Structure 1
Amino acid sequence: MLTELLTGWITHQRWFAGKGRPIDDLVVDSDVELSPRLRHLIISVHQAGARDRYQLLLGSEAPEWAHFKAAHIGEGYYDAAYDADLTVALLEGMAEGRDTGPLRFRHVEGVEIDTSLRSLVLGAEQSNTSLVYGETYICKLFRRLNAGVNPELEIVTALARHGGRNIARPYGWIEADLDGEPTTLAMTQEFLPNSNDGWALALASVRDLYGSLEGSASDAGGDFSSEAYRLGITTAQIHHELAAAFPTDTIEPQEVKRMVEEFRRRLGTAVEEVPELGEYAHVAEEAYQRVTDVASETRVQRVHGDYHLGQVMRTTTDWIVLDFEGEPGQPMAERRALASPLRDVAGMLRSFDYAARHLLADHSDADELRPRAVEWAELNRSSFLAGYSAGGGHLRAEDAVLLRALELDKAAYEVLYEARNRPTWMHIPMSAFQMGR
């Protein structure tokens, strides 16, 4: 029986969110034939009274290669995302604007989609599956489904309409109704073959610094500060474009104070689970209190929401910002909510600290190199902030108080994440509470 096969298979997929908990029930909510050997499934997985929904491209009459672990389901069934002979149906559907049962395939007005390209699955993702078609398109399948329009589709198509240059051009998407709401199942954008992600470039710079016997971070052959400056400019431009494409608002001091109470609640949760953070919790409490003391009207708008070096790509000409989905695992309404653009700034500042320090986890000379890590992070943090200001980003002197609080709120989240998933990395976010910034 197919549901039994899927129950055994889905728990081993990296994008399955319910690992470690038994599945009480698995139900196929939607089963649509896209071609004679290809079906699109929406599956409900019930665990401990909660339900999560996932999508699957189901292939039948499995070819020989489909027996490798990532694709094989059993009894002739396989995950057809890995089958380039079948995934052309996704491009064809978007190119034609086809409706197939409850599925709606759409393309951006005025674009043409080349349906002759074959796909290849990217292997690095945790929560989605991306198919690269030639060197032209990347189609992201949102494996775990949340009812509503995905923020990335909403933002990227809006920015494209407003002439945004620092995004990957959108081409099309697939949607269906879940809980009565149009819900994004997949989206296709421009693929950037001749580019490098910011995390990889930053790590190359850090390795170069650690490998040099003397000299400062700005003297090392892999100096990243000019790129950090340019990234700051790009970030400010993206924030301006988001403010032009979507409504903005101003929150009153009382709402700012309520936001700080959320910071305190999250800090308390982190301390409860990671007691060693308690020794430094006063650092965050003092930063939060300063925000409360000087609370004033604060501008809010649509933001990226999960901004870090892994979300930006350096092409031959500029930085491109990707993955406007917001914080993974958060409700769709929260991911689409207005927030201070300083939230994105804080996320990138934390990312510089991560890039500088994570190579120290197993390094035999960690104690000796730590001052250099601090120097690298501070240089690139300041360069990024300078670029953000030069690009027109709103960064007044009084904003430093809120920015510091947002950084520590992010660091508290990181402490909790690392304690649960990568204990050897926990020293990275803990350092945010130990430094006198």
Structure 2
Amino acid sequence: MTATLPQHIDTALGAWIPRQRWFAGQGRAVLGTTLVSAVPLTGPQDTEPAGFLALVHVCFADGQAETYHVPLGLRTRLPAALEPYLIARLEGTAVYDATGDPELTSRLVELITRNHHTPRARFRTQGGHPLAAPTGTERTRPLGVEQSNTSIVIDDRYLLKLFRRIVAGPHPELEALAALQQAGNRDVPRLLGSVSGRQGTDELTYGLLQHYEPDADSGWDLALRSILLGDAPSSEGRTGGLPGAAQLGATVAGVHRDLAAQLPVAVLDQAGLERLALQLRKRYVRACSSAPQLRRYAPSVHSVFAAVATLPAPLPVQRVHGDLHLGQVLRGPRGWLVLDFEGEPAASRAERTALTSPVKDLAGMLRSFDYAARHARRCPSAPSPDDVRAWAETSREAFLAGYAAVTALDPGLQPLLRAYELDKAVYEVVYETRHRPALVDIPLSAVERITAASC
């Protein structure tokens, strides 16, 4: 292991970061990158760092900037298994993304279990759960899923989540999980520890440690299996829909209830509803600059959002999940678990922690049912379009019924639900335009359907 970072690491990171799946600046011109901090991973007995927690400042041509976290490893000889994680070879040293190195990721967990502190980083256990250091590296692996962070399974019992885009202040997910744990909620992963530090006067969170659920399936996978393997409605009388959709609704309602009990709440008066309608319109206008195909829906979109301003006040608002969909829930032996309380990846911390109507989360899940159904229709083995549409509608009705059984869902909020569904579909159009253009027709069809229904 090399003790110091080589020169020209900024240039190498500037070429590597924009190619990564977790980079939130896709489609934006990058002016330059600067390595602003590199915290050594040094334990009490170490003479040289095992690696570095690097912070990289990325400046864009539009004048904006973002900070990214890249755990770095350095070796003079890189094993073949780590070649996919290579960033660059500089001064005879292989610099690589340490999230693929079982030795370094296990070391991070070990430092958490020891509550190790350095002048620039704090590794601590949380939640009062006894932790044992990892037993080895053979059961350490990154999760191979698309996400805005990087998660590593350690010993099939820990999930180490390393945040990539760093925002100043306490991390929204850490706040939410700690609050839910304090409330005794068992429908989220147990929070076990965290890694934090400071940059100037700002508090930063590099990552957190959770309990890993080895026998759980993602809601997205369950949905696709449910559609493609015969659970969609048919003339043979199957009831269809996502298995456990009503229970999922009840689970989300319980999470909302406990977040409201532990974190600030408020209400929107009539002026607040008008501001919300304006915010939704502004998000749409910004989206049109990245996805110009959205502009043709402008009159109907503005009509849907304008209806929010006419809702009866007051409207309760609170902390919510912020980016709820089928990929953010697991179903295991104990039922459903809700994951990833980070909020929308591209949003600022202020936006992620803003008090919001829980209806936003409901709309996110309803969009996900529709998304799964339309995605499944692309498969040669998919049921008929009518059956797949019926699957989505059945799932939708069961989910909302399960939610309403725990927390009364006001039917008068349908305009708000429609507005948040449209806002989410617009967000998806931008996301797919930037990342997966072949799929952009899925959310675009939802924009067309929702706006047509409002006419």
TM-score (norm 2): 0.87
Q: Give 1:270 shift.
A: 4.2
Structure 1 residue 300 corresponds to structure 2 residue 280? no
* Alignment map for 1:267-416 (pairs within 5 Å): 267-271=284-288, 274=291, 276-360=293-377, 362=378, 369-391=384-406, 393-416=407-430
- Larger deviation, residues 8-17 vs 249-258: 8-17
1:184 aligns to what? 205
2:238 aligns to what? 219
Structure 1 residue 58 corresponds to structure 2 residue 72? yes
2:118 aligns to what? 100
Which ranges of structure 2 fall in alignment gaps of 5 or more residues?
Answer: 1-6
Q: Give 1:321 shift.
A: 0.3
SS in 1 for 2:189: coil
1:428 aligns to what? 442
Taking the aligned partners of 1:120 and 1:365, their CA distance within structure 2 comes to 32
- Larger deviation, residues 416-425 vs 145-154: 416-425
2:4 aligns to what? none
Taking the aligned partners of 2:20 and 2:243, their CA distance within structure 1 comes to 40
Corresponding letter in the other structure for 2:226: S
Taking the aligned partners of 2:127 and 2:232, their CA distance within structure 1 comes to 50
Taking the aligned partners of 1:122 and 1:364, their CA distance within structure 2 comes to 28
- The structure-2 alpha-carbon separation of the partners of 1:371 and 1:26, relative to structure 1 and needing over 3 Å to count, comes to same
Taking the aligned partners of 2:238 and 2:100, their CA distance within structure 1 comes to 45
- The structure-2 alpha-carbon separation of the partners of 1:207 and 1:29, relative to structure 1 and needing over 3 Å to count, comes to same
- Larger deviation, residues 368-377 vs 103-112: 368-377
CA contact (8 A) 1:25 1:47 kept: no
CA contact (8 A) 1:66 1:72 kept: no
Structure 1 residue 130 corresponds to structure 2 residue 137? no
- The structure-2 alpha-carbon separation of the partners of 1:43 and 1:287, relative to structure 1 and needing over 3 Å to count, comes to closer
CA contact (8 A) 1:13 1:70 kept: no
- Larger deviation, residues 424-433 vs 397-406: 424-433
CA contact (8 A) 1:147 1:179 kept: no
SS in 1 for 2:35: strand
Structure 1 residue 42 corresponds to structure 2 residue 59? no
Taking the aligned partners of 2:290 and 2:17, their CA distance within structure 1 comes to 29
Taking the aligned partners of 2:328 and 2:83, their CA distance within structure 1 comes to 30
Taking the aligned partners of 2:350 and 2:358, their CA distance within structure 1 comes to 17
Structure 1 residue 32 corresponds to structure 2 residue 45? no
Taking the aligned partners of 1:86 and 1:166, their CA distance within structure 2 comes to 30
Structure 1 residue 195 corresponds to structure 2 residue 216? yes
Q: 1:91-145: per-residue Cα shift (whole Å, max 9, x none)? A: 2221121112310111115222111333221222342111111111001111221
Structure 1 residue 68 corresponds to structure 2 residue 86? no
SS in 1 for 2:56: strand
- The structure-2 alpha-carbon separation of the partners of 1:331 and 1:230, relative to structure 1 and needing over 3 Å to count, comes to same
Q: Give 1:12 shift.
A: 3.1
SS in 2 for 1:105: strand
- Larger deviation, residues 19-28 vs 289-298: 19-28
Q: 1:383-426: per-residue Cα shift (whole Å, max 9, x none)? A: 101000112x2311211221112111222222233333333323
Taking the aligned partners of 1:210 and 1:331, their CA distance within structure 2 comes to 39
CA contact (8 A) 1:128 1:142 kept: yes
Which ranges of structure 1 fall in alignment gaps of 5 or more residues?
Answer: none
Percentage identity across paired residues of the two chains: 38
Q: Give 1:282 shift.
A: 4.1
- The structure-2 alpha-carbon separation of the partners of 1:408 and 1:12, relative to structure 1 and needing over 3 Å to count, comes to closer
Corresponding letter in the other structure for 2:219: G
- The structure-2 alpha-carbon separation of the partners of 1:67 and 1:398, relative to structure 1 and needing over 3 Å to count, comes to closer
* Alignment map for 1:139-178 (pairs within 5 Å): 139-178=160-199
CA contact (8 A) 2:241 2:393 kept: no
Taking the aligned partners of 1:340 and 1:99, their CA distance within structure 2 comes to 39
1:265 aligns to what? 282
Corresponding letter in the other structure for 1:27: L
Q: Give 1:190 shift.
A: 0.5
TM-score (norm 1): 0.90
How large is the Cα RMSD of the aligned pairs?
Answer: 2.6
Q: Give 1:293 shift.
A: 2.7
Taking the aligned partners of 2:56 and 2:432, their CA distance within structure 1 comes to 30
- The structure-2 alpha-carbon separation of the partners of 1:19 and 1:347, relative to structure 1 and needing over 3 Å to count, comes to closer
Corresponding letter in the other structure for 1:234: T
Q: Give 1:66 shift.
A: 5.2
Taking the aligned partners of 1:204 and 1:322, their CA distance within structure 2 comes to 21
CA contact (8 A) 1:205 1:224 kept: yes
Q: Give 1:147 shift.
A: 0.9
CA contact (8 A) 1:271 1:277 kept: yes
